[in-house]
Structure 1
Amino acid sequence: MPRVNLEGSSSIVTGGASGIGEATARQLAAAGSRVVIADLNEERGRQVAADIGGAFARCDVTSTNDADAAVAAACALGPLRVCVNSAGLGAPARTIDRNGVPLDLENFTFVIKVNLIGTFNMLSRAAAAMSKTAPMDADGSRGVIVNMASAAAFDGQIGQASYSASKGGIVGMTLPIARDLSAIGVRVNTIAPGLIDTPIYGEGEAAEAWKAKLGESVLFPKRLGSGEELAFAVMECVTNPYMNAEVIRLDGGIRMPPK
């Protein structure tokens, strides 16, 4: 069985305006797919979309209307075959602070809503569109969904309760959703990145020094991973037709300490 051919297809990448999402969108486009950049950053999102011959859809991943609009934009470009959910955020805070005050529940809920519920929202709408496409091969394949979890799903640090819970939820739903979607020929995989060099770390000499310090804790190679390296793993999940229901740590072997 050959690798999945993406020529003439469309894809959606949430959080595609920067970092991991942008690197993934560029590799999908290079493989022949027309990519919809689904992001809140309109200026950068439109720029990336123009660079790769795709389209931009302003998208709050927690909104069913926005998700449907992104799916419709993709379907207008070709049969939807790929949805990569890389939009996410963190809001570090301890369960109780130094004065014994509990974390504001809204803080916890917001992270869960964006990272976990937003991922499910996007993938379910995309899967519905995939179910209406003609199969790509003799196996009856119709598409692939790749979600982003985090090493924090397994090695959550101090102050990461909400983030780890959201990413752990993505890990936990990978298998049941893959089982659900097997009926329509849609595969589902999850990648759990470790320390990846994205714009979240900032720019300049201080940022570079901080990233180098963080890299010392990686087993090997002793550096942060790149968005391009993470996108390589996404493309393997997409183009290997037997890769299904997997959670892959991509972290250079790091195991996160408590803090």
Structure 2
Amino acid sequence: MKIQGKAVIVTGGGSGLGAETARELARQGAKVAVLDVNAEGAQAVAQEIGGLGLRCDITDSASVEQAIAATREAFGPVRALMNVAGIGGARRVVGKDGSAMPLEDFKRVIDVNLVGTFNAIRLAAAEMAKNEPLEDGERGVIVNTASVAAFDGQVGQEAYAASKGGLVSLTLPLARDLAQHGVRVCTIAPGLFLTPLLHKLPEDVQQSLASSIPFPKRLGKPEEFAQLAAHIVANASLNGEVVRLDGALRLPPR
């Protein structure tokens, strides 16, 4: 799909990988709606790129529906959804004091990362299915964000790894399901990237993390994630695929 002039939604676009993805798509001529639970962040990025900034909670169906409707009204038919919104969290199943991990901690991560992302997918896909077909009968593209933790989950990452593993497992059946509507689905599984969270860590800690990456021996750059996300939109043969973007990193147990 040619990106120029297309309406694209980026969830989690108010910071980090989502913000850089919104910038890259705008640079390539897309009309970008920046969605984030942090309204100020979304609006700041949108103002920077000439897009539309909207507060959106991906776990709330009405919130996502309103964001899709606002995007359509401002920019026309929604052609791509970039699911970058998500949360982290690490906690051992049995704590040092012998207590069990609170079930709510597990549910919260699953609810945002897996259920919330699927909520955005289902609503955007229904919207895209109504679009007029482009070349090859394509009507839309959905790009999800998993993590290498889906494959190499570390100690304490049970909830996070399960949520991202769910997105990995969803990718192929979603692509098969939505093929009849001309909607492609891919997922990116990033490794260690220099996001605002890692920026806050001391330099020596950043270097220690980077040293575990075979090559290039540095933390990933957000623009590299954004470039891959944009390429997936542009390359019509990419469908039903999960792409690790990690410099050949395999996470150790700890």
Q: Find the residue that maps to 1:146 and give its secondary structure.
A: strand
Q: Return the alpha-carbon distance in structure 2 between the equivalents of residues 215 and 73 of structure 1.
A: 40
Among 207, 221, 228, which residue is 1:226 paired with? 221
Q: Return the alpha-carbon distance in structure 1 between the equivalents of residues 5 and 192 of structure 2.
A: 34
Q: What is the identity, as a one-letter code, of the residue corresponding to 1:129?
A: E
1:29 aligned onto 2:26: yes
Mapping of residues 11-160 of structure 1, within 5 Å: 11-76=8-73, 77-137=75-135, 139-160=136-157
1:255 aligned onto 2:250: yes
TM-score calculated relative to the size of structure 2: 0.97
How far residue 163 of structure 1 moved from its aligned partner, in angstroms, is 0.1
Q: RMSD in angstroms over aligned alpha carbons?
A: 1.0
Q: Find the residue that maps to 1:225 and give its secondary structure.
A: coil
Q: What is the identity, as a one-letter code, of the residue corresponding to 1:187?
A: R
Q: Contact 1:8/1:79 (CA < 8 Å) preserved in 2?
A: no
How far residue 34 of structure 1 moved from its aligned partner, in angstroms, is 0.8
Q: Contact 2:3/2:233 (CA < 8 Å) preserved in 1?
A: no
How far residue 100 of structure 1 moved from its aligned partner, in angstroms, is 2.1
Among 161, 173, 177, which residue is 1:176 paired with? 173
Q: Find the residue that maps to 2:248 and give its secondary structure.
A: coil
Q: Contact 1:34/1:78 (CA < 8 Å) preserved in 2?
A: no
How far residue 99 of structure 1 moved from its aligned partner, in angstroms, is 2.5
Structure 2 residue ranges without an equivalent (≥5): none
Q: Return the alpha-carbon distance in structure 1 between the equivalents of residues 203 and 33 of structure 2.
A: 31
Q: Return the alpha-carbon distance in structure 2 between the equivalents of residues 253 and 212 of structure 1.
A: 17
TM-score calculated relative to the size of structure 1: 0.95
Q: Return the alpha-carbon distance in structure 2 between the equivalents of residues 107 and 201 of structure 1.
A: 22
Q: Return the alpha-carbon distance in structure 2 between the equivalents of residues 249 and 94 of structure 1.
A: 26
Q: Find the residue that maps to 2:224 and give its secondary structure.
A: helix
How far residue 64 of structure 1 moved from its aligned partner, in angstroms, is 0.2
Mapping of residues 204-219 of structure 1, within 5 Å: 207-219=202-214
Q: Return the alpha-carbon distance in structure 1 between the equivalents of residues 180 and 202 of structure 2.
A: 47
Range that drifts further, 70-79 or 84-93 = 70-79
Structure 1 residue ranges without an equivalent (≥5): none
> Matched residues, percent identical?
50
1:167 aligned onto 2:193: no
- Give the match for residue 237 of structure 2: 242
Following TM superposition, the consecutive aligned residue runs of length 4 or more in structure 1 with deviations greater than 6 angstroms are none
